[in-house]
Structure 1
Amino acid sequence: MTPEQQLKDKLAEKQEVKGYFETTGFDRWNRIYSESDDVNKVQRNIRIGHQKTVDEVLAWIKDSGELSEVSFCDAGCGVGSLSLPLAAMGAGSISASDISEAMAKEAERRAGEAGLDMSKLNFFASDLESLSGSFHTVCCLDVFIHYPQAAAEEMVKHLCSLSEQRLIVSFAPYTPLLAILKSIGQLFPGPSKTTRAYTLKEEGIVKAAMACGFEPVRRSLNKAPFYFSRLIEFRKKD
């Protein structure tokens, strides 16, 4: 495949993801990341698994004691699953973005409804590639599922360039078992219900971060039926 074709395919897939989360995907994931009872068993388990990942990230940040004076970037914020509780905990400032404008607007609506200090929150639509700025901590949770291995590793490097001290990422880890489950359609909802989903090799993600001067300091694996997420915290080397 030529570089031109690779770029064309990458742009087409990005538009597919964006279009999905602006339409049917928004309705579906807005319900999943809420307290709505209008979800099926698979969606409920995804909700439980994702919440486990968010809760662990919040615990890690709280344990570090770095919060009130810290700037955060929530890359791929969805409907605010991480940004809202982070703001409620007293984060210094949060820049939260999502490829879907509908998602970003819903996160902003939820933040306002929750009575959070909107002067410390900035919600906007952007793909990960277009993010810029400098933040103490960059978080990217359950977004790499839309990136194949090479693209995910490049994205880790880009996120490292935005981070002054800490990068926290989660992704569906590649294992032979998960590869089999995915191939027979048991890991994720079928093609009519989602965009393409990728599992990633942890070694490649870690190498990409280390190439930028970051080293892994904490890891965990959160799982529920239909949800598997490797969570890693990287710290910039002194």
Structure 2
Amino acid sequence: MAFSSSLWSSLFLPNPNKTNRSPTFSPANRKLSTAFAIPPLSTATAADVSGAIDGTTIAVVSGGFVAGLTALLSLTDPEKRRREQAEEVGGGDKEVVKEYFNNSGFQRWKKIYGDTDDVNRVQRDIRLGHSKTVENALQMLKDEGSLKGVTVCDAGCGTGSLSIPLAKEGAIVCASDISAAMVAEAEKQAKEQLVSSENGVSSLMPKFVVSDLESLDGKYDTVVCLDVLIHYPQNKADGMIAHLTSLAEKRLILSFAPKTFYYDALKRVGELFPGPSKATRAYLHSEGDIERALRKVGWTIKKRGLTTTQFYFSRLIEAVPM
């Protein structure tokens, strides 16, 4: 959807290229190739995986298991299940995501985004990956100089993991999320963490707004949208990218779950195992499609990077007007 912004959206998938769990990030302006081999399921226990899976995660399976189940994909009807989910809340994707992140999803992701020890191995790995994406996005912003007085729209702020550090750097932040529960938590965290002055930099309280992405307006030096496009099919993602660029004067920082043959197949297999809390769709996007959508509105990619852990995989780009 345009929807949640709150989410941790990038797909939490096993990263076959890693032999450890440390996140990686590519240097600016350098594209990484994506050639994959599938790791064994034994890298995480069944309890770990089942405890972490929800609407934006994918089943963790071995290569042989993927191959053995591929033939079953044509017999499944994930669209039917998704329609049933939408009917339960009386709407489409947006309503499903809004309902989820205001209720059971809020409790799950508040825990993952937070610092509690009450998380399993997979959730802890996802937390690590998400934190690295936030760190890399913040570094992209700081690469151009001081953020003091810079206006930033954090579209899909979740619990404030980026909005609060931006405010500490002196940025003037408008933070939005479709989930009222997420916005309330972000505002609570901001009040606890922000002080009048830190390291000589005045911190202004972000303006927190409950809103879906389509309803955002105004003009900002920079718009940041991390891990939200996972709720948009490509045709809607094109329109959302156009809308976000219309709000940005200088740059757009965007992250998304990249679509490759391997991850697309794994996602489809994951839909064979919906699980009790799986409540939202998950859309992958090819980097080429994102780049074409940007070029259509006169923008181009200036920097690009990749954040990976064992169960988290996210492409991060910085786009600017051509």
Distance 2:130 2:295 in 1: 26
User: Counterparts of 1:218 and 1:190 in 2: how far apart (Å)?
Assistant: 37
Structure 1 stretch displaced more, 111-120 or 22-31: 111-120
1:196 aligns with 2:275: no
> Whose strand proportion is higher, 1 or 2?
1
2:302 is aligned to 217
Does residue 1:90 correspond to 2:162, yes or no?
no
Q: Does 1:64 align with 2:149?
A: no
Distance verdict in 2 for CA 1:155–1:39, change over 3 Å: same
Q: What is the aligned residue count?
A: 229
Name the TM-score, length of structure 2 as normaliser.
0.67
Cα pair 1:105 1:124 within 8 Å, conserved = no
Q: Paired residue for 1:108? A: 187
How far apart are residue 120 of structure 1 and its match? 4.2
Give the Cα separation in 2 of the matches to 1:225 and 1:116. Answer: 36
After TM superposition, list the pairs within 5 Å mapping 1:74-223 onto structure 2.
74-91=154-171, 93-116=172-195, 119-185=204-270, 190=275, 192-223=277-308
Percent identity over the alignment? Answer: 52
Q: 1:194 to 1:37 in 2, by over 3 A?
A: farther
Decide whether aligned partners of structure 1 residues 235 and 15 sit closer, same or farther in structure 2, where only a CA change above 3 A counts: same
Tell me, yes or no, if structure 1 residue 226 matches structure 2 residue 311.
yes
Secondary structure (helix, strand or coil) at the match of 1:42 reads helix
TM-score, normalising length: structure 1: 0.90
Give unmatched runs, 5+ long, in structure 2. 1-85, 197-202
The one-letter code sitting in structure 1 at the alignment partner of 2:223 is V
Q: How far does the alpha carbon of each residue in 1:24-73 deviate from its partner, in whole angstroms, 9 at most, with x for none?
A: 00000000001111112221111111111110011111111051121000
213-222 or 194-203, which deviates more: 194-203
Q: Say yes or no: does 1:47 pair with 2:127.
A: yes
Q: Is the 8 A contact 2:170 2:204 kept in 1?
A: no
Name 2:51's counterpart in structure 1: none
State the alpha-carbon separation in 2 of the partners of residues 44 and 194 from structure 1: 21
CA radius of gyration, larger in = 2
Partners of 2:125 and 2:312 within 8 A in 1? yes
Does residue 37 (structure 1) correspond to residue 122 (structure 2)? The answer is: no
The CA RMSD measured in Å over matched residues stands at: 2.2
- Higher RCO, Cα 8 Å, sep 6+: 2
CA distance in 2, matches of 1:116, 1:74: 20
Aligned counterparts of 1:235 and 1:82: Cα–Cα separation in 2: 20
Higher share of residues assigned helix: 1
Gaps of 5+ in 1: 1-7
CA contact (8 A) 2:176 2:211 kept: yes
